[in-house]
Amino acid sequence: MRLLSLFLVCFCLLSCADTKPLNRYTNTNKKQGVWIEIIDSASVAFERVRYNEGIKEGKSEMYLKDNSIAVGKYHNNKKHGAWKYYKIKELLKIEYYTEGYVTRIEFIENGKVKNQVITDPTF
């Protein structure tokens, strides 16, 4: 019930932010513009994402089942750049992506990097 309430509040707030309608299709039946999608995964509740001709492109917000939020960008349907994870306005971690692969993770505590993990996307 708590998750449903969070979803409805966020949906209303997010849908009011854009003047264009949500969840639109192009004439060729491809997703276009801002979409709010319910995600069936262990950690993600729903996502607000932009599409361009059926491809995720641009800013996205993921609302996670642990009541945290991830904010980042997609490029060519893949996560790209810094994805920041927040819980009640506190930054928890930053994941850095290149072409959909995590290359570095920074864990934040009291506003400072506490630990950093470098990954090898070719592994």
**Are the beta carbons of 35 and 49 closer than 8 angstroms?**
yes
Contacts of 82 (CB under 8 A, 6+ apart): 72, 94, 95, 96, 97
pLDDT by position in tens, the chain (length 123): 454 444 444 554 444 455 567 999 999 999 999 999 998 888 889 999 999 999 999 999 999 999 999 999 999 999 999 999 999 889 999 999 998 999 999 999 999 999 999 987 676
**Residue-range domain boundaries for the chain:** 2-118
Helix, strand, coil share of the chain (percent; to 5) = 15, 60, 30
Contacts of 31 (CB under 8 A, 6+ apart): 23, 24, 25, 51, 54
Q: Which of the following CATH numbers is that of domain 2-118: 1.10.3470, 2.20.110, 3.40.1350, 1.20.1440?
A: 2.20.110
pTM above 0.95, yes or no: no
Rounded Cα–Cα distance for residues 104 and 97 (Å) = 7
